[in-house]
Amino acid sequence: MSLRLHINAVGAVMGGAARHLPPFVGAVVKARPDWELVVYCSPDGLPLPVPGVRVRTVQRKSWQRIVWDSVTVGRVAARDGADILINLANYGPILSPVPSILYQRNPIYFDPVWVRRMGIRHEIESFVRRAIAFSQIRGSAAVVVPSNAMAAYLRSWRGCPPDTRIEVIPHSVDIGRFTFTPAANLTRSRTSVRIVSLSHAAPHKGQELLIAMMKELRERGIDADLEATISEEDDPKYVASLRNLIDEAGLGQHVRFVGRVDAAQFLSQADVMVLPSITESFGFPIIEAMACGVPVVASSIPSTTEVLGHSGWYFPVGDASAATDQVVAVLEHDAESLRAQLLAAHDLATTYSWERNARQVVSLVEGIVSATQ
C-alpha cells in the first residue's frame, strides 16, 4: 500500500518532541520507502535531514498555531492529496477532511494529581486545554500515547469521548548513538561523584528536589557535583527560582546548568542520573541513561515505573531525603549485582527502538486508511 502521509510537527521545537523528530521520520521512511512524506515544521524547529521527505515551514506564533492545528492543517493536507495526517505535538484538527491521528503526550493538563497540585488558576487553564483536546480527539481516527500512564490520565476525565481509540505506542531512542560503558561507572573512584539530570526546566519536572538532594549529599560527606541540562530559555522565571535555591544552599560550585547538550556524550561519564519529575507521559532520559549503563534514580510516578520497571531506584515524589538515600544506595551497591542490573536495563532499553515504533505506527496508519477506503 503506497500512501501519502503528512506529519504535523509545527509544535516540535524543544525537548523530546524536537530531538526525536528526525529519527522517527527516518524510521517511517525506512519501514515504508514507497510512501510520500510531507512534514510541516516551525521555522525555529530543528532541521529535518531525511532524504526524500518534503518539509513545509509554518509559523508557530500562538494564535497562528491554534488556527493551524485546529483548522488549517487538515485542509492543507487534503488539498495536497494526503491519505492520512499525523499530528505529533498534542494538537490536531477538530474536523479533518482526511483521517487524522492525534498524538497526546503532555501530561500537565491531564494528570489529575498535577492539576490539583497547581491550584485553581492551573485547573481553569487545564479545563480549557482539555476541552480543546477532547474536541480534537473526537475529530481523530485514533489517539497515540506513549504509555499506559498517559492513557489512564486521558480516561480519568469525564470529558474524554468514551469511544476514543487510544493506542499505546512507546516512544523510542536512537540506541545506536549511545555507548554502553557500565565499567566506567563501576570502577571510577567514589571520592568524587558526577550526578546528572537530563531534562529541560519546567515546574512539573520537580527540579527543586535536585538542589535539596545535593545539599544533603554534601552534608553526608559525599563529594558530589550535579550537572543539569537546564537552559535559561526553558522557563526564565522558574530557572531564576532554581538559581536562588542554589545560592541559598551555597552550592554554586557544585551545581551547574549546562543547557542543550548531546545526550550520549553528556551521559557517557555520569555516575548516576536523577529524574525528579512530578509528572511525565514517558521519560526519554530514562531510556537514554539505560542505554549508556548509567543507574537511574527517579521519582516513583506511573510513567517512570512503567518504563524503567525493576531496573531503577525510586523515591516518593518531592522527597529529597529519600532521593539522597537512593543515590547513596547506588554508590554503595555491590559492583557485580549493579553490573547485572545495568545490563538488564540496557537490554530493556534496546527494545525501545525507532524501528519498532515505526512498525507500530505504519500498522496503525494502514489499518485506518484501509478502513476508510
pLDDT of residue 59: 74
Residues 161 and 186 in one domain: no
Q: How many residues does the chain have?
A: 373
- Give the list of residues 6+ apart from residue 204 with CB closer than 8 angstroms, or none: 107, 108, 114, 277, 278, 279, 280
Residues 140 and 253 in one domain: no
Taking only the tens place, the pLDDT of each residue in 82-106 is 999 999 988 999 999 999 999 999 9
Contact 222, 230 (CB under 8 A): no
Residues 319 and 365 in one domain: no
Residues 82 and 149 in one domain: yes
Residues 24 and 75 in one domain: yes
Distance, in Å, from the CA atom of 296 to the CA atom of 204, rounded to the nearest integer, reads 19
Closest CA to 93 of 137, 49, 54: 137
Taking only the tens place, the pLDDT of each residue in 50-82 is 777 888 888 766 667 778 888 899 999 999 999
pLDDT of residue 318: 96
Percent of the chain exceeding pLDDT 70 equals: 92
Residues 323 and 254 in one domain: yes
Which three three-digit cell numbers place residue 243? 538559581
- Compute how many other C-beta atoms are within 10 angstroms of the C-beta atom of residue 55: 17
Residues 215 and 132 in one domain: no
| Sheet with 313-315, edge to edge strand ranges | 255-257, 224-228, 193-197, 272-275, 296-299, 313-315
Q: For residue 256, what are the domain limits?
A: 175-350
pLDDT of residue 199: 93
Alpha helices in the chain (DSSP H): 15-19, 21-31, 62-67, 73-79, 112-117, 120-138, 148-155, 182-187, 208-219, 236-249, 263-268, 284-292, 302-308, 320-331, 335-350, 354-372
Instruction: Name the more confident of 44 and 341.
Output: 341
Q: Is the pLDDT score of 137 beyond 90?
A: yes
Cell numbers 498517559: residue: 150
Residues 197 and 289 in one domain: yes
Instruction: Name the more confident of 189 and 297.
Output: 297
pLDDT interval class at 174 (50, 70, 90): confident
Residues 285 and 335 in one domain: yes
Residues 239 and 306 in one domain: yes
- Give the list of residues 6+ apart from residue 250 with CB closer than 8 angstroms, or none: none
The CATH number of the domain holding residue 156 is 3.40.50.2000
Q: Is the pLDDT score of 187 beyond 80?
A: no
Q: Is the pLDDT score of 178 beyond 60?
A: yes
pLDDT interval class at 17 (50, 70, 90): low
Counting the structural domains of the chain, the total is 2
Q: Residue 47 has what DSSP assignment? A: -
- Compute how many other C-beta atoms are within 10 angstroms of the C-beta atom of residue 177: 14
Contact 345, 311 (CB under 8 A): yes
Residues 124 and 182 in one domain: no
Residues 25 and 131 in one domain: yes
